[in-house]
Structure 1
C-alpha cells in the first residue's frame, strides 16, 4: 500500500469506460456528471460496490435531511484497477436544477473487497459510513453549463489494515470539479511495466498509472504550471523521468506525446 490510488468516483450513464458526456443542459438546469477513474494502487484488485449516488441542495435541514437520489444510477461492483491510462467509468449522467449543490453522497453496498497476492478480503465499512460517504462540494451550478465531478480516493490512506489481518474503509477523498479544469495525457516508453505519472506544483499533486500500452491521462488538473515525474515500476530498474514547466490551461488537454525513459 505504498502509492495512492485515485478513485475518481462516479459519473452518470454507463455507456463505456470513456466517461464523455453528450448531454445538453436546459435553460433552468445544469448537466451533472460524476466520474470514476483510477490512479496509483498496489493491490491486485480493489472492488467497490456502488448502490446509489445522492445529492443535497438544501443545507438548512439536519445532516440526514434533504438527500435525493440522482436516479438511473448504474449500480454494480467495480474494480478500480481496471480504470487506468485515463479511462473513466460513467455511473450516471443527469440534468439537475441549476443552483447550489452542497454535498454528494456515495452509497456503498456490502460487497467491497481488495485482492492481495490472489486472495480476496472483504473491506469492512464502519457504521458511521454505512449511510453513505458524504463529500462536500459547495458549488453553484449555472443553468446551461456542464459540470464533471471526479471523486478521488487516496487508497493508501483510505484502506486501513486491521489488527486481525482484515481491512476497513476510512475514506480520504479529493473532490475535483472539472468545470474549468484541464488534463494531461501522453505515452511512456518503454511500456513493458506500468509507470506512475505524477503532476505536481506548490498547491496540487495528482497522479495516474499508465495502461499496458504506456498510455496515461490525468484528469481534473487545475490550470497552472506543473512538473511531471514518471516513476517506473521498481522491478524494471529504469530511472525516473522529469519534465518541468508543463502549462495546463482551463478546459484544455495537454498532450505530452511520447516520454522516453532511458
Structure 2
C-alpha cells in the first residue's frame, strides 16, 4: 500500500474570501488577499484526499464540472438564487481521489469565481460530468471507454462508477452536513471552506458486480495552515508503531458520535488530518496486525491544532488474537409489502466512558475484511423463505471483541479507563439518501440483540462470532 494513501480521505477545500484570492498551496496551504470590493467575495476551490480504502482500490476517478451554493437549504436544482463557486463545464477536471501525497492537504485547485454575495450558504452542490456526456470531456480520460467516472480495483482495470440522477443536478450537502448549519460569508470578510468527500464510503458495489456512487459529503469553515490534528498509534506494551490502524475523527450528531473524517496510519504509526473545521473531535482508533487485535481506544474532546503524540492500544489477549465477527441480514420492502432494493450503510456502535465522565455512544471503525458499505439489498442474495417477498443483503462486521477504553483529552497526559470484554454492540442501519431524504418509512433502524430465541444482548468476544437480529426496512421507495 502506498503511504501517500494512508493519511485521510477525499475532501474538497473551498476557500472563500471577501475579495480576490491568490492561493499558493504548499503542505496545508497559504494565501494572500488584495481587496477589490468590500461587498462581494471570491471563491477559490481546491480538492484533497486521504482514503482508508486503498487496499481495495488503486484509483477513484471523478470528473467535476461545477460547484454551486445557495443560501436556502430547501432550494431545488431549478430554483433561482444559485451562485457558481467554480465553473468547469467547458473544461471538466478529472481527479483521482486516492492520489494525495502523505504530507499534503490538497490535491489540486479547481478554480476561482469573484462577486459572491454575502450571506449564510446552507446548501452546496458538486456537479459531476455524466458518463454518457458528448460535449466537453477530459483529455486524457483515465476511465477509457467506461465513461468519465470510474474505480480501479487493485490489480484490475477501470470499472464505470455509475451516477444517480442527483449527480447530474448536483451532489447535495445540506445544513446537517455543514458545520454550524451553513457557511457565513460577510461583506468585507473572508471564509475558508472545506468540503470533505468521503470517497471510500461513497462507492457502492452492487450484487451484479457494478459500481455506483452514493456520495458522503461534509463541509465547514477551516484555516488551511492551522487546522490540523496528528498523532502516532503504538502498541501499549512494546511501544512499537501500529501501521494500518484506522483513526476516525468523530463529533456528536443526534446523540451519537459520527465519523467526520478517517485515516489509516502510515508504516511508522503516524496519522495527520488537515484541513479541519474548528472545534473539538473525539478520536477513535482501532488496530489489527497479522497476529494481534487491539481494543478500541477513544480520546474525547481533542481540540483542532493538537499533536496528540503516542496513542497506546492494548492487545485483546496474549498470543495470537483475532477480531470478533458480527454477521447479519438486511431486508427491504415497499409499503405494499413488495420486494424493493435500497442502499444501506451499517455502523457498529459502543458505549465509551472516560474516568469520571458519562457514557458516549461512539462509532467503532471496522477492520479490513468487513463488508464494504454502502451495500444494496437486492434479489441476488439468498433470502430466507419467510422473507421471500423482500430484497435482502448479508453482511459481516469485523470488530474488536471487547469494550473500548476511553479518556478525556488532557494536554498534560490523558488518563484512560480499563477496557472490558465481552463487547456489547448495537448496529445502526441507515437508508437515508445522499441528499438527506428518507428512502424508507423509517430511514434509520438500530438493533441491540442477536437472532436467538429468546434474544440476547448483541455481544461478541475476541475471535468469536454472533449473528445479529435481522434489520428490516419497510415502506421503501
Range class of TM-score, shorter chain: 0.7 to 0.9
In the alignment, which residue of structure 1 is the partner of 2:247? Answer: 197
Say how many residue pairs are matched. Answer: 254
What are the Cα deviations for residues 114-167 of structure 1, in whole angstroms up to 9, with x where unaligned? 122322211011233223223235433123433233323344552222232111
Whole-Å separation in 1 of the counterparts to 2:217 and 2:272? 21
In the alignment, which residue of structure 1 is the partner of 2:12? Answer: 9
Cα gap change, 1:247/1:129 in structure 2, threshold over 3 Å: closer, same or farther? closer
In the alignment, which residue of structure 2 is the partner of 1:51? Answer: 65
What are the Cα deviations for residues 198-234 of structure 1, in whole angstroms up to 9, with x where unaligned? 233544433223345534225425523x443333355
Contact 1:188 1:261 in 2 (8 A): yes
Cα gap change, 1:57/1:201 in structure 2, threshold over 3 Å: closer, same or farther? closer
Whole-Å separation in 2 of the counterparts to 1:240 and 1:32? 43
Which of 88, 93, 97 aligns to 1:80? It is: 97
DSSP 3-state at the match of 1:128: helix
> In terms of mean alpha carbon deviation, does 15-24 or 120-129 score higher?
15-24
Query: Aligned pair 1:18/2:27, yes or no?
Result: yes
- In the TM superposition, what is the alpha-carbon distance from 1:193 to its structure 2 partner? 3.5
Cα gap change, 1:200/1:54 in structure 2, threshold over 3 Å: closer, same or farther? closer
In the alignment, which residue of structure 1 is the partner of 2:174? Answer: 136
TM-score normalised per structure 1: 0.74
What are the Cα deviations for residues 79-118 of structure 1, in whole angstroms up to 9, with x where unaligned? 2222356622343455533223243221212311112232
> In terms of mean alpha carbon deviation, does 108-117 or 170-179 score higher?
170-179
In the alignment, structure 2 segments of 5+ residues that lack a partner are 1-7, 16-21, 132-147, 176-181, 235-239, 315-477
Matches of residues 24-63 of structure 1 in structure 2 within 5 Å? 24=33, 26=35, 27-30=38-41, 32-34=43-45, 35-41=47-53, 42-57=56-71, 63=77
Contact 1:153 1:172 in 2 (8 A): yes
Contact 1:31 1:93 in 2 (8 A): yes
DSSP 3-state at the match of 2:173: strand
* Larger relative contact order (Cα-Cα within 8 Å, sequence gap ≥ 6): 1
Contact 1:25 1:146 in 2 (8 A): no
Calculate the aligned-residue CA RMSD, in Å: 3.8
Matches of residues 1-262 of structure 1 in structure 2 within 5 Å? 6-11=9-14, 15-16=24-25, 18-24=27-33, 26=35, 27-30=38-41, 32-34=43-45, 35-41=47-53, 42-57=56-71, 63-64=77-78, 65-71=80-86, 75-83=92-100, 84=102, 87-89=105-107, 90-93=109-112, 95=114, 96-109=116-129, 110=131, 111-119=148-156, 120-137=158-175, 138-155=182-199, 157-178=201-222, 182-188=227-233, 193-200=243-250, 202-203=252-253, 204=257, 205-206=259-260, 207-211=262-266, 214-224=270-280, 226-232=281-287, 234-235=289-290, 237=292, 239=294, 242=297, 244-248=299-303, 252-259=304-311
In the alignment, structure 1 segments of 5+ residues that lack a partner are none
> In terms of mean alpha carbon deviation, does 206-215 or 38-47 score higher?
206-215
Whole-Å separation in 2 of the counterparts to 1:47 and 1:231? 28
DSSP 3-state at the match of 1:81: coil
